[in-house]
Structure 1
Amino acid sequence: MIYGSLPPMKVVKIGGGCLKDGKAARTIIQLIASRGQGDIFVVSAFYGVTNILLSGIESSLESEESIGKTITQLKTLHHEIIHFLFSDPARIHELKEKMDRVLHKLERYYYGISFTREATPRMRDMVATFGERMSALVLSGAVELLGVDTGIALPEELGIITDGKFMDATALMNPTGENLKAFMEREMTGSKVLFVPGFYGISETGEITTFGRGGSDYSAAVVAAGVRAEVLEIWKDTPGFMTADPDNIPHCRLIPRLTYEEAAELAYTGAGILHPRTVEPVRASRIDIAIKNTYDPDARGSLITGDAIETDRVIKSVSYTKDISILKIHASGVGARQGILSLITEAVSGQGINIKSVITSQTCISLLVSRKDIGRAHECVGNIRPIPFREASFRADVALVSIVGEGLHLNRGIAAKCFTAVSRANVNVEMISSGTSDAALYFLVQESSLDDTIQALHATFFD
């Protein structure tokens, strides 16, 4: 039992990639109706909706006239899905009226942004959550048509409490767990399907705060940990974690089992299967994460667990991300000069720029940041006074490559095999980060050499 008389339950997260249109949504709805009774479904927005919502903020700042176009675009997209899923005119009319009331509220926020000519983080978070609210409304109504008892619980109703940080919040698990326990004992049954909009929670003062882009995975993990679910399932339109990106290595293979650490490292370096923070809430509760393919729901998929499995193959996957750039700060003896590192990192992070990694030597500090942030990061350190370094430069023509496997640093020869393979492919390694994780070895190469690098590594470790 979980709480009171409740039977064991699953928490299932449905991503936007599984909700591309009405046809894809119908597949999901049939799966929920046949397999999901007694479970909680944390849902993303329909595919592309979050981008429309965020673009609408920028358009509202420029012109009040754009607001109507944004609302019409959202209304048309959701109404088309409703007409695809429903045939009864009365039900269509009822659901469209509910949808239009949600869109009317959104429209008022856009007009507020346009009138004040300001989009605060608080307002951006509020607007960004509307996609998940609308998808929960449609999916709940469609599953109910199939004779299943359904309900919708907004995060503010569930009491998913956050630290209050706009656009990058973290759930506070103790109060959240207590709130979820009380709600489930009061509202949940063994036959009900409960839909929860993902992506956000509320601060202790009642403010809507999002978990960042892709944060529905994280919010599903928060719910799973809060209700002590049997398992957290992530429904995707892909088989699971693979030994490489199929776009680079078409013959790559499924990884049937990973540890929490391995999954987090793969998520960080670009495997779009999972949000990097998803493992945080469930790791403490020892809840497994199962990646399932909605187009082949009985397939094995990938299981993420706390138990490392001993195998002859230490390396599980070769991964990469192109969303990386290097900011280099050159100065003599930087490693011996007190405070220079904190001065530089504070200048960059103080502008809301996420520093992915810091690598230092005695003559250079290298910050790894997203490509979209590199220009601002360079400007930030250039504004430090007095200037504590000789020169600041940056590069954006690189890619971050990793080999991932639990305990790779305890196995002799792994790094040698890695860099021998890269060298034989005539690829120059720009920078190495080793030892920071027990499950990954990172290095940078020129983006033009990325394909050769991935193919060489996969051939070495898997072929």
Structure 2
Amino acid sequence: MKVIKIGGGCLKGIPTIRHITELTSTHAKGHVIVVSALYGVTDILIDGIQKALQDEEKIMPHIEVLLRLHLSVARFIMKSESCIQGFHQDLSGAMKQLERYYYGLNFTGELTPKMKDAISCMGERFSALLLSWTLQSLGVAAASMTPQTMGLYTDGKFGDATIDLPAATESLNSTLKPALQTYDMIFIPGFYGISLKGEITTFGRGGSDYAAAAVAAALSADLLEIWKDVDGFMTANPKFVPQAAFINRLSYEECAELSYFGASILHPRTVEPVRQRNIEIVIKNTLNPDAQGTIISEKSEQSDLVIKSITYTDDVSILKVHASGVGYRPGILSIVASALTDAGLNIRSVVATQTCISFLFSKKDIDEAYATLEKIRPVPYRALEKERELVLLAIVGEGLSSSKGVAARCFSAIAEQGINVEMISFGPSKAALYFLLKQEDLHKGIHALHATFFTAGKADKQTIAPVS
């Protein structure tokens, strides 16, 4: 039995959605399908939160927009009027619940993490209903189940939940697995689970990949398939590097690092649950379903290629905390890091020297981080400095930690292009090395590294002596 994840990018536009339903009818029988919301729907739901807070008169028109959108798709892709009516009835019930959320929000005038999670996951519920009814209209015995009905339990943290794998395993094996004996396939809304108290808790934006991995782990599935519109991971972003090559196999570690450092194919946390049960992940291209796709498992591909891929993110900024002797004065790092953590800010990385502590943040958090540290009394630093126009360029491969010369080759490639490295981190991960560069140097940096490790003579260049 497989768990299949269908992302929002595969549910964009009626022709694409119709193709997905036809593909599902032939390739997904006997399996569980975890789905994202239709493309753009989550943004509409979040926009509705602000409308509900502003004016209750805006709530019903907003509900009507969502209702019409899903019904218009249903009328184009469903082959049965009775299925359209069945979907309309189920959808109306879900919309009533969303309506209550919005009116409750307007009444209290306060958006809590609990309410945000309850609203933002509704798109996945609509999508699961739409696809299950569509497959029924094609003659397939399809059904949908929600995390509430099957017991996809989490640790209860709103906005960033983690699967409670023992509890979810027990529950899904008594609810979801028996249902597979009755139906050809079961659709499940991704993105969220429920706490042991029964409260909706989301896995964070883009967390439907993680939800699918959680379901796969709980069911001890044979395989987790992620349906995308690409064949899999590449040695670099082909938009920047046309000669980028397809990667046949990655380890869990390599996949997690690539995803964390900018490769958008998978959510960075996807490997966590399946790794515990040693379940392989395969990326499948819905436009080329018979292609192999990148396989992700415990072991990386045995190859002379130490570096598997080069990736980047421009969602990075640095907050520098300048002070004399921060490397040996006790307490400064603790004071500063505690203030940032107490403010609910996610620190992506920390690098410390004798005179400066550098914190990496998402660009959206840098101003709040700066303001947070300005409030510390007594002031434990000499100066604060923000840097925004940066990119993080990472090379990923499990051979990095056990091979000599990798960093030297990277530095040489970058230096030959006249690029200044703002910061480098090598060591915290056995599978990743990253540089911070000025944003204007991104393209030159990617091409320089890719030419060093992946062009003609690549085997010789990447046969780096192992560390003794």
Q: Provide the TM-score with structure 1 as the length reference.
A: 0.96
Of 296, 299, 302, the match for 1:304 = 296
**Deviation sequence 1:175-215 (CA, Å, 0-9, x none):** 11111111244322286201111111111111110000011
Q: Quick one: distance in 2 between partners of 1:329 and 1:370?
A: 17
Matched with 2:465 is none
Tell me by how many angstroms 1:442 deviates.
0.7
Amino acid at match of 1:318: I
Matched with 2:59 is 67
Of 254, 258, 265, the match for 2:257 = 265
1:333-348 matches, cutoff 5 A: 333-348=325-340
Matched, 1:235 2:227: yes
Of 36-45 and 339-348, deviating more is 339-348
Q: Quick one: distance in 2 between partners of 1:442 and 1:405?
A: 12
Check 1:223–1:31 CA distance in 2 against 1; reply closer, same or farther (3 A cut). same
1:158-173 matches, cutoff 5 A: 158-173=150-165
Amino acid at match of 2:174: A
Secondary structure of 2:56's partner? coil
1:192-211 matches, cutoff 5 A: 192-211=184-203
Amino acid at match of 1:431: M
Of 331-340 and 321-330, deviating more is 331-340
Secondary structure of 2:428's partner? coil
**Deviation sequence 1:112-135 (CA, Å, 0-9, x none):** 112211110000000011000000
Contact 1:244/1:317 (CA < 8 Å) preserved in 2? yes
Matched, 1:256 2:248: yes
Contact 1:38/1:190 (CA < 8 Å) preserved in 2? no
Q: Provide the TM-score with structure 2 as the length reference.
A: 0.95
Q: Quick one: distance in 1 between partners of 2:406 and 2:88?
A: 58
1:267-286 matches, cutoff 5 A: 267-286=259-278
Matched with 1:3 is none
Matched with 2:466 is none
Matched with 2:83 is 91
1:207-226 matches, cutoff 5 A: 207-226=199-218
1:364-383 matches, cutoff 5 A: 364-383=356-375
1:119-138 matches, cutoff 5 A: 119-138=111-130
Check 1:190–1:248 CA distance in 2 against 1; reply closer, same or farther (3 A cut). farther
Check 1:350–1:69 CA distance in 2 against 1; reply closer, same or farther (3 A cut). farther
Check 1:184–1:93 CA distance in 2 against 1; reply closer, same or farther (3 A cut). closer
Tell me by how many angstroms 1:354 deviates.
0.9
Amino acid at match of 1:404: V
Tell me by how many angstroms 1:330 deviates.
0.7
Of 449, 453, 456, the match for 1:457 = 449
Secondary structure of 1:209's partner? strand
1:14-53 matches, cutoff 5 A: 14-53=6-45
Q: Quick one: distance in 2 between partners of 1:446 and 1:181?
A: 51
Amino acid at match of 1:391: A
Secondary structure of 1:12's partner? strand
**Deviation sequence 1:125-164 (CA, Å, 0-9, x none):** 0001100000000000011122211121111112111111
1:326-365 matches, cutoff 5 A: 326-365=318-357
Contact 1:256/1:302 (CA < 8 Å) preserved in 2? yes
1:101-120 matches, cutoff 5 A: 101-120=93-112
Q: Quick one: distance in 1 between partners of 2:44 and 2:343?
A: 25
Matched with 1:176 is 168
Q: Quick one: distance in 2 between partners of 1:203 and 1:57?
A: 23
Secondary structure of 1:223's partner? helix
Matched with 2:405 is 413
**Deviation sequence 1:223-274 (CA, Å, 0-9, x none):** 1111111110000011111111122112211111000000000100111100
Contact 1:334/1:365 (CA < 8 Å) preserved in 2? yes
Q: Quick one: distance in 2 between partners of 1:144 and 1:381?
A: 57
Please provide the CA RMSD for this pair: 1.3
Tell me by how many angstroms 1:55 deviates.
1.5
Structure 2 portions without partners, runs of 5+: 456-468
Q: Quick one: distance in 2 between partners of 1:101 and 1:341?
A: 52
**Deviation sequence 1:16-50 (CA, Å, 0-9, x none):** 00000221111111111112111000110000011
Greater than 6 Å deviation, 4+ residue runs: none
Tell me by how many angstroms 1:99 deviates.
1.4
Contact 2:191/2:203 (CA < 8 Å) preserved in 1? yes
Contact 1:37/1:190 (CA < 8 Å) preserved in 2? no
Q: Quick one: distance in 1 between partners of 2:341 and 2:19?
A: 43
Q: Quick one: distance in 1 between partners of 2:47 and 2:344?
A: 20
Check 1:190–1:405 CA distance in 2 against 1; reply closer, same or farther (3 A cut). farther
Secondary structure of 1:335's partner? coil
Tell me by how many angstroms 1:97 deviates.
2.7
Check 1:200–1:413 CA distance in 2 against 1; reply closer, same or farther (3 A cut). same
Q: Quick one: distance in 1 between partners of 2:47 and 2:71?
A: 20
- How many residues align? The count is 455
Secondary structure of 2:348's partner? strand
Of 4, 9, 15, the match for 1:12 = 4
Matched with 2:464 is none
Q: Quick one: distance in 1 between partners of 2:337 and 2:157?
A: 20
Q: Quick one: distance in 2 between partners of 1:424 and 1:112?
A: 60
**Deviation sequence 1:48-79 (CA, Å, 0-9, x none):** 01111111112222222332332222122212
Matched with 1:321 is 313
